[in-house]
Amino acid sequence: MILKNPLFSSLRAASLLGGLLAFVLTSFAVRAELTYGDLRDNGNFFSKQAKAEATRNINELGKRFKKELVIETYAEIPSDLKLGVDLENKAAFNRLFEQWVTRQAKQQAVNGIFILLTKVPAHLHVVVGNETQKRSFTLKDREALVKGMLANLRNKQNDAALLGAVDFVAVTMKEHSVSRSNSSSRGQVPSETEAKSPLSWLVPVLIGLVVVWIGIALVKALLRTGGGGSNAGGGMMPSGLGGGGFFSSLLGGVFGAAAGMWLYDQFSGHHGSANAGEWDDGRGSSNAGDDRADTDYSGSGGDFGGDSDSGGGGFGGDSGGDSGGGDF
């Protein structure tokens, strides 16, 4: 008959606790991946490849700068919005788009930039949140974004307009981030603890508790089995199973602890990103985002159908124009 041993039970419980901790951390990490920006091409402006690339870059942008970039396209203005609006009146036309895009941004609680495109009429409108304007993407930046997108859209280069816009927003936010970092370096530099995630204190505490719990359980189990593993006398309570369960439980506990430490490293931002070199200037500024939420928005835009009334280099800077263009 195989005697039951509390040591095996302790190790099994440790492995289960480690697995539970790994599951919780994974859930937090997956949830964090879904919180930054969006691209909804209802008007079929862009190719599948361009949308996939833009979506990845929008998500990376949000993780780095804690600001959202949302892009929506439509084939035409919804009928309920243009009801009673004189679209031939330029002021009424612009007011409709400003109200429409602002409403969309507020309903979705966008903390950053909202870009809207329609095919009929061929129009672009961009709004930027009031807090975002102060530190991450100014009104001057907004005008440059509109100008660059219009140049590409007027040249029927929709994918270039999309990818160039996402890249321009990322580069511009990085420049502002570097500027803020340089300013703060002349004053008080935030400590490493202040720069960590709000949940950074919870994960090491949980891991520490697991380690302490395992240690206590092992000591107790060894003391109880010190008399040769007999269950007679001493008030010992049989628990667990014998046999080969010892090594499997031990490996399970080690794996659970290792998985927990790896997930903590990934979740707390102490690891290298596959795209880290894309916008990172080597000084850690790419994570210096501004997380103050926007409560209102202001925008501007322009038409891109028919004859172009202004040229421009777009985001590539390889085509001229009488308005001076703009190479971003």
Query: Residue 32: CA atoms inside 13 Å, Cβ hemisphere, count?
Result: 17
Q: Residues 124, 143: one domain?
A: yes
Q: Using CA atoms, how far apart are residues 108 and 170, in angstroms rounded to an integer?
A: 21
Q: Residues 65, 49: one domain?
A: yes
Q: Residues 182, 257: one domain?
A: no
Last residue of a domain, one of 241, 268, 295: 268
In a domain, 62, yes or no: yes
Q: Output helix, strand, coil percentages for the chain, rounded to the nearest 5.
A: 50, 10, 35
Domain of 64, CATH number, reads 3.10.310.50
**Helices 48-65 and 158-185, packing angle to 10 deg:** 10
Q: Residues 164, 205: one domain?
A: no
**What is the span of the domain harbouring residue 78?**
36-191+287-303
In a domain, 14, yes or no: yes
Q: Using CA atoms, how far apart are residues 213 and 285, in angstroms rounded to an integer?
A: 39
What pLDDT is stored for residue 67 in this prediction? 95
Q: Residues 50, 177: one domain?
A: yes
Q: Residues 65, 177: one domain?
A: yes
Q: Residues 84, 21: one domain?
A: no
What pLDDT is stored for residue 42 in this prediction? 97
Does 78 sit behind a cis peptide bond, omega within 30 degrees of 0 on the bond before it?
no
Q: Residues 131, 177: one domain?
A: yes
Tokens for 67? 């600001």
Secondary element (H or E) of residue 128: strand 123-129
Q: Residues 17, 41: one domain?
A: no
What pLDDT is stored for residue 208 in this prediction? 75
Q: Give the full edge-to-edge strand order of the sheet including 38-41.
A: 38-41, 68-76, 112-120, 123-129, 297-303
In a domain, 147, yes or no: yes
What pLDDT is stored for residue 278 in this prediction? 44
In a domain, 257, yes or no: yes
In a domain, 59, yes or no: yes
In a domain, 310, yes or no: no
In a domain, 49, yes or no: yes
In 10 A of CB 82, how many CB atoms?
A: 16
User: How is residue 5 annotated by DSSP?
Assistant: -
**DSSP code string of 183-198:** HHHTSPPPPTTTTS-T
What pLDDT is stored for residue 236 in this prediction? 43
**Dihedral angle of Cα 30, 36, 41, 45, to the nearest 10 degrees:** -120
Q: Residues 24, 63: one domain?
A: no
What backbone phi and psi angles, to 5 degrees, belong to 126?
Answer: -125, 130
Number of structural domains in the chain: 2
Q: Residues 184, 225: one domain?
A: no
Tokens 């090491």, residue? 204
Q: Residues 176, 299: one domain?
A: yes
pLDDT tens sequence for the chain (328 residues): 445 555 556 556 656 666 656 555 555 544 444 457 899 999 999 999 999 999 999 999 999 999 999 999 999 999 999 999 999 999 999 999 999 999 999 999 999 999 999 999 999 999 999 999 999 999 999 999 999 999 999 999 999 999 999 999 999 999 998 887 776 656 554 444 444 555 556 667 777 777 777 777 777 767 766 655 444 444 444 444 444 454 455 455 555 555 555 555 554 444 433 343 344 443 344 344 456 799 999 999 999 986 544 444 576 443 333 333 333 3
When computed from its CA atoms, the radius of gyration of the chain, rounded to whole angstroms, is 28
Q: What is the pTM of this model?
A: 0.59
123 vs 23, 47, 139, 298, CA distance in Å? 46, 19, 19, 17
In a domain, 311, yes or no: no
Q: Could you tell me if 203 and 312 are in contact, meaning their C-beta atoms sit under 8 angstroms apart?
A: no
